Structure 1
Amino acid sequence: MKIGVMGSGAVGSFFGSFLSEGGHDVTYIARGAHLDEMNKNGLTIRGEDEKRVIRQTFSEKVEDLTDCELILFCVKSGDTKEAAERMKEVIHESAYVLSLQNGVSNEEKLVEIFGQDRVLSAAVYVQAAVESPGIIQQSGSHKLVIGALQESGQELEKKFAELLNEAGIPTRISSQILLRKWKKYLWNLLFNPLSATTDRSVGQILDDPYLREIAWMIGLETIEVATRLGYPLSEEDLQVAFQNAEYARTHTTSMLQDIRKGKVTEADELVGYLTEKAEVHKISINALQTVYLLLKNKENAI
């Protein structure tokens, strides 16, 4: 199958590499030094015990996605609308878009542009980072949970789950993919903004009683908003999120990676969405808002 990766950072490059090695024709859309290095020396994936080099099509031209049947959509949340609109101008009307993004708001934007029947979503579980241009470092286990946004997409999600599994990507299907993504979103809100603000890894947050308490408070706020929106999260989900964090103790969150590289984070989109919904329903999220404001102060100093 001809497959595109729109936004070939850590996540897109890592999962795309399996599809390349699985015999699919993959086009990676990237930019800057990362693109230059991949065109020169290929895409390097470094795991705990292995090193793989991928040589396929690396480009900055969205037009190179024209003939793709499936697009792994991996751009940062703040770039979703612009990137999707550029894609719509060039990809075939029968092409499908699978979002591998953080947060729970991107699907709404993608549906507006491509229609509900062409958009699928994935909850992504991976510890990966761009170590340097052209080189992705990954550790620990990885998997995807995917799902269509409507019941009529059951055959479609099955088809793509089989494709991903055959390529060596552990993939399961969820009939409630947005609820699953809310649970992942909960994890992201617990650790991403706080780690970026305090320059701490997930494990350091877990071990610090004060930071751990702040994370717990953020979790309670998130649960209240999610429940009001029809996604029944509970304190049990919060406890599971903390338990899962134990397996990612050394993980440097994506927001902390951005701050350390002098880049703006996804905080406006990830935190902004919850803030917007909390305001509509008159729910206080003071803990998350305080961390967000401290993070914005840090971003402004970049």
Structure 2
Amino acid sequence: MPPSSPAAAPLRVAVMGAGAVGCYFGGMLARAGHAVTLIARPAHVQAIQAHGLRMETQTFDEQVRLSASSDASAVEGADLVLFCVKSTDTEAAGAQILPHLAHSATVLCLQNGVDNADRLQAVLPHHTVAAAVVYVATEMAGPGHVKHHGRGDLVIEPSAAHVAPALVVAGIAAEVSDNVRGALWLKLILNSAYNAVSAITQLPYGKTAVGEGVQDVMRDVVNECLAVAEAEGVQVAGDVDAAVRMIFDTMPGQFSSTAQDLARGKKSEIDYLNGLVVRRGQALGIATPANRVLWALVKLLESKQG
């Protein structure tokens, strides 16, 4: 059964860029009684309008009824916008929602990378834009069908603390942190260690991490990331080694988002993962050869699809 409805008035929620991540969190909020509109590609919208969103999770498999649209104007009237587009599309998608966004709306960035909230805030200078760190293993298993493989928690900035209770009641573990920048860098480090290897091999985390020599490569990647973060004055949140192990332990069957993008012939976010570490390292005079090799190989694979 869905969680009980929240005691406070239901939120009006729009999910901009409702892929696997947006569908999962939007679906969870809809199950809890919030008025959710998913803004997604037409094939997903048609399936959701006809049958609802199928949420196949570790604990339930349901058709969740909510609204869906392929038009950015559907953010109109939303109290909360979950901003889930690819890092490559941040500015363009921000410009699309700007004319329709309520002044009082909170925009929560559920994206990979460390600078999306800053980039989006530049496009939406008069709105509350908050960064969030996302830990969830999901995939779109078909039109209007999201499959959940593990976790489902968020670390959010204090400026979005007012929405945390609604997230928690909806079954989403939401932690408010004063060091979201450090948490974003921790996620960047994990993505840099796992995503490209999963993409290049088209294997899930559990199989890549036990490959011969791969642990050493991952260790080199992590050490380079930490050196760049330290030079930038970032206090990386948490135990990095434990976090790297946790991905292997909790998501062994998950393919990285980068792997999923390449498998579908789509451009990945590699420029904002290993590529960002390379660029920041170059600017700071820090060598990042392991990250550079992984970035270059994924870019080469992307070029094959052109």
TM-score interval for Structure 1 and Structure 2 normalised by the shorter chain: over 0.9
Following superposition, the deviation at residue 188 of structure 1 comes to 0.6
State the distance in 2 between where 1:24 and 1:254 align. Answer: 27
1:11 to 9, 21, 29: 21
- Provide Cα deviations, 1:202-232, integer angstroms capped at 9, x if missing partner: 1122211312211111111100111111113
Following superposition, the deviation at residue 80 of structure 1 comes to 0.4
TM-score for both structures, normalised by structure 1: 0.92
| Change over 3 Å in CA distance of 1:266–1:18 after alignment to 2 | same
Q: Aligned residue pairs: how many?
A: 294
State the distance in 2 between where 1:293 and 1:141 align. Answer: 30
State the distance in 2 between where 1:130 and 1:117 align. Answer: 30
Which letter does structure 2 place at the counterpart of 1:31? R
SS at match of 1:145: strand
- Provide Cα deviations, 1:140-168, integer angstroms capped at 9, x if missing partner: 232111113xxxx3xx41x1111111222
Which letter does structure 2 place at the counterpart of 1:258? D
1:141 to 138, 142, 151: 151
Aligned counterpart, 2:242 = 240
Aligned counterpart, 1:189 = 192
State the distance in 2 between where 1:57 and 1:205 align. Answer: 38
Aligned counterpart, 2:119 = 109
Percent identical pairs in the alignment equals 30
Following superposition, the deviation at residue 192 of structure 1 comes to 0.5
Following superposition, the deviation at residue 288 of structure 1 comes to 0.9
Aligned counterpart, 1:72 = 82
State the distance in 2 between where 1:32 and 1:290 align. Answer: 36
State the distance in 1 between where 2:220 and 2:201 align. Answer: 16
State the distance in 1 between where 2:74 and 2:268 align. Answer: 28
Which letter does structure 2 place at the counterpart of 1:146? I
2:95 to 81, 85, 103: 85
Aligned counterpart, 1:280 = 283
Following superposition, the deviation at residue 52 of structure 1 comes to 1.5
The 5 A counterparts of 1:11-30 are 11-30=21-40
Aligned counterpart, 1:229 = 232
Measured on the aligned residues, the alpha-carbon RMSD in Å equals 1.7
TM-score for both structures, normalised by structure 2: 0.91
State the distance in 2 between where 1:24 and 1:8 align. Answer: 16
Give 4+ residue runs of structure 1 displaced > 3 Å after superposition: none
State the distance in 2 between where 1:271 and 1:215 align. Answer: 12
State the distance in 2 between where 1:105 and 1:51 align. Answer: 35
1:160 to 160, 163, 175: 163
Following superposition, the deviation at residue 49 of structure 1 comes to 4.2
Consecutive unaligned residues of structure 1, counting only runs of 5 or more, are none
State the distance in 2 between where 1:117 and 1:225 align. Answer: 31
State the distance in 2 between where 1:249 and 1:129 align. Answer: 14
Consecutive unaligned residues of structure 2, counting only runs of 5 or more, are 1-10
